[in-house]
Amino acid sequence: MDHLKGKKRISLKQGGGAVGVAVVLLALAACITPLHPVVTLEPGVSLKGYRVFLVAPVTDATGAPFDLQVTDSLRREIVDRLQSHGLQVAPKDVDTTDDLLLITTTLVFFRGRSNQVELPRPSVDVECRLRSELRDPRTGRRLGEIVASDLGARRPLTVLNECAHDLADAIYRLQR
């Protein structure tokens, strides 16, 4: 050990590198964490008794100049996703029944190239936000609201569809 006389000793603490790696991984995870729908139900409300879902036409409150009828495709995506979960979706002109839940959805925010929704992946992030109001059409009672958002550097139509899927998935989770 005489050859080390006068030299500074460097002490590496075990696990120090692991902490640094963990911090980097947590920072990366925060960047790619998916946005989850925000569900707000009125006090005492449960969707478990609702067996049939009426999806009203989607409205567009963004004013964005879309190059196709995104409201039609968003409604279709919500309907298809609910049905993929085994839920029954009523036709548009159904009479009210005891177990019917009305879903009224509005596209409230869109950031991206709305006139190029079907083009390949853009160089900028695309963001959308859908807000759905849940009502019992028989009584007119407001049951709650779901706000679904999506963000990513993907095709605008893909981001819009994912937003619709998140919304329908949230309804499915509430109904189970």
- Beta-bridged to residue 144, according to DSSP, are 41, 134
DSSP state of 78: H
Which domains are present in the chain?
Answer: 36-175 (3.40.50.10610)
Q: How many CB atoms lie within 10 A of CB 51?
A: 13
Q: What is the pLDDT along the chain (176 residues), one digit of tens a residue?
A: 555 555 554 444 444 555 444 444 444 444 444 579 999 999 999 999 898 999 999 999 998 888 778 899 999 999 999 999 999 999 877 766 678 999 999 999 988 766 666 556 555 688 899 999 999 998 999 999 999 999 887 888 888 999 999 999 999 999 88
Three-state secondary-structure class, residue 167: helix
The Cα 149–Cα 65 span in angstroms is 20
Helices (H), ranges, 62-155: 70-84
Q: How much is the pTM?
A: 0.76
Phi/psi region, residue 6 (left: phi>0; alpha: psi -120 to 50; beta: rest), is left
Q: What amino acid is encoded at 102 in this protein?
A: L
